[in-house]
Amino acid sequence: MTKPIWIKHASQLATLASNINGPRTKEAMSDLGIIEDGSMWVEDGIIQAVGSTKDLEKLYSGKLHEAEVVNAAGHLITPGLVDPHTHVVYGGSREQEFEMRLQGATYMDIMNTGGGIHATTRMTREATEGELIEQTTRRLDSFLAHGVTTIEGKSGYGMNVETELKQLRVMKKLQEQHMIDIVPTFMGAHAVPPEYKGREDEFIEYLIREMLPVVAEEKLAEFNDVFCEKGVYTPEQSERILEAGKRFGLIPKIHADEIEPYGGAELAARIGAISAEHLLKASEAGIKAMANSGTIACLLPATALYLREEAAAGRKMIDCGVPVAISTDCNPGSSPTTSMPLVMNLACISMRLTPAESLTAATYNAACAINRQEQVGSLEVGKQADIVLWNVKSYQELQYLFGVNHVKTVWKNGVKVV
C-alpha cells in the first residue's frame, strides 16, 4: 500500500473546479476555482479531498501522520496540463526545412516539392516500431517534464494501412508503458500521398474501405482528423472522410483554415466536430458558427510563431463565445516543441488571452477537446491525481515569467514522475 499524499499550504491551488459541465466559454474561462493556502489529499492515485489547509487538517486529523507530506508554501498548484493536439509519433527530423523557411520557402512550397509531411511520412514508413517507440518516449518524457500529463496523439505519417496502423499501435504500446496518458486520433488524411497525386478520391475510397474498418475493429483511435486546406482536402472531401469515420464511431476533428480561409470552421460546426484546429484564417462566419455549435477552437500559437504567421484570433473567439483550448501541435515541421508552458505564454502574448483564460485553455478546455473532462483537467474529488507543483507563487506569475519551465514536481495518477 502506498502512503497517502497530503499537499498543503499551496499559495494558490488553481482547481479549475466549476459547476459548468462541458467546455467553458467567455467569463467562465476566467474562473480558476482558486483556493488560497490550499491543500489536497490523494490516495490510490485519486484525489480524495481538495480545500483549505485548515479544513483538510480537520478532515484528516486522525490520518495526518500516515501521509507523505508536501509543503507547497509559496508555490502554485494546477492540474496536470493537457495537450489536445500532437503528432508525437514520427520518424526522423526536419531541421533543414527550418533553414529553408528562414530563407523564404513557405510551408506549402516545401510540402508540394516532396518535403514537409511527405518527408516525415517516408521516414516514418522506414522506421521500425521499436525505433518509433524509442524516439517517442523521449518526447513523452519531455512533455512530463513540462507539466503535461495527458496528450492527444495523431497518426498521419503513414497514409497507407501498414504505417497508419504502426503509428497507432505504437501509441497503444506507449499508453501501456509510459506514465503519460495518450488519447489516439486517426489522421490517415493528413496529406495526399504522392502515389495518389491527382487521384485524391481514390485515396479517400482506400482510406474508407481499408483503413477505417481496421482502426475501428482494433479500437486504435477515438477521433478522426483531416487536413482541410487548399491543395490538400477540400471541405467536401473532408466531410466525406469525417462522415465515414462517424459511421465507425470516430468523433471528427478538423485541421481547418490554417493557411487560407477555406470554410473549415464552418464545416467543423456543421458536422459536429468536437474541435477545429489552427484556425489562423477562420472567417467571421466560421467563428460565429463555432460559437453556436460549441465546437472547441484548438489554437496553436507556437505553430503560428514558428511559421512566422499571425496567430489565430483567440481573443475575438473567446469574446464571441467560442470555447478555446491550446496545444503545442508537437510535430517535426511546424512546431517541434513539447512545452505547454511556452504555449500558455504565447496564448497571452500573441492571442491576448488573459493568464486565467490561458490556464483554462491548457487544462479543462483541453481535456474537453479530447473527451477526458471526467478524468483530468481539474483538481476535483474522484479525478485522477494529475498535479503540477510550480516554482512560482501564482498563475499570474506563471504566465508573466515567460519562456521558462517553472515545473518543480509532477504527479501522474498520484505517482511522482518529475
Binding-site entries for Zn(2+): 85, 87, 255, 329
Closer CB to ligand NIG, 227 or 411, in the complex: 227
Contact yes or no for 74/8 (Cβ under 8 A): no
- What x-and-dash track marks residues 42-81 binding ligand NIG by CB under 6 A? ----------------------------------------
Q: Indicate the residue among 191 and 250 with the shorter CB distance to ligand NIG.
A: 191
Query: How many Cβ atoms from other residues are within 10 Å of residue 60's Cβ?
Result: 18
The set of long-range contacts for 316-319, using a CB threshold of 8 Å and a minimum separation of 24, is 316/287, 317/279, 317/287, 317/290, 317/291, 318/25, 318/26, 318/29, 318/353, 318/357, 319/26
Smallest gap, in angstroms, from Cβ of residue 150 to ligand NIG?
19
Select 222 or 258, whichever has its Cβ closest to ligand NIG: 258
| Nearest position to ligand NIG, beta carbon | 333
Stretch that binds ligand NIG, among 125-133, 214-222, 329-337, 364-372 (CB under 6 A): 329-337
* CA 152/CA 194 separation, integer angstroms: 27
Applying CB under 6 A, does 275 fall inside the site for ligand NIG? no
Q: Is 257 in the site for ligand NIG (CB under 6 A)?
A: no
Return the DSSP state at 156: -
The count of chain residues that interact with ligand NIG, using the rule CB under 6 A, is: 13
Cα 71 to the center of its chain, rounded Å:
30
* Span between the terminal Cα atoms of the chain, in Å: 21
Closest CA to 7 of 100, 217, 48, 258: 48
State in angstroms the smallest separation of the CB of 332 from ligand NIG.
5
Nearest approach in angstroms of CB 170 to ligand NIG is 16
d(CA 289, CA 71): 47
Give min distance, CB of 405 to ligand NIG, in A: 22
Of 307 and 385, the one with the shorter C-beta distance to ligand NIG is 307
Q: Minimum Å distance from CB 331 to ligand NIG?
A: 4
Does the protein bind ligand NIG through residue 333 (CB under 6 A)? yes
For 74, 101, 131, 277, the CA distances from 110, given in Å and listed in that order, are 48, 8, 26, 21
Nearer to ligand NIG by Cβ, of 122 and 408: the residue is 122
Cα–Cα dist 360/377, whole Å: 9
What's the grid cell of residue 340?
Answer: 505547454
d(CA 297, CA 355): 18
Residue 15's Cβ-side half-sphere holds a number of Cα atoms within 13 Å equal to 20
Binding-site member from 303, 339, 360, 399 for ligand NIG (CB under 6 A): 303
* Per-residue binder mask for ligand NIG (CB under 6 A), 108-147, x = binder: --------xx--x---------------------------
Build a one-symbol-per-residue string for 188-227: x at contacts with ligand NIG by CB under 6 A, - elsewhere: ---------------------------------------x
Q: Which helix (H) or strand (E) holds 2?
A: none
Binding-site residue ranges for N-formimidoyl-L-glutamate: 157, 331, 333
Q: Is 336 in the site for ligand NIG (CB under 6 A)?
A: no
**Which of 329, 356, 362, 392 touches ligand NIG by CB under 6 A?**
329
Rounded (5°) CA angle 253-255-256? 110
Contact 299, 256 (CB under 8 A): no
Q: Of the candidates 15, 150, 163, 334, which one interacts with ligand NIG according to CB under 6 A? A: 334
Site map 224..253 versus ligand NIG, x via CB under 6 A: ---x--------------------------
* DSSP letter, residue 417: -
Nearest to 298, CA basis, from 252, 361, 377, 343? 361
Binding range to ligand NIG, per CB under 6 A, among 37-45, 134-142, 246-254, 332-340: 332-340
Binding-site annotation, residues for 4-imidazolone-5-propanoate = 94, 157, 190, 258, 334
Interaction site with ligand NIG (CB under 6 A): 87, 116-117, 120, 227, 255, 258, 303, 329, 331-334
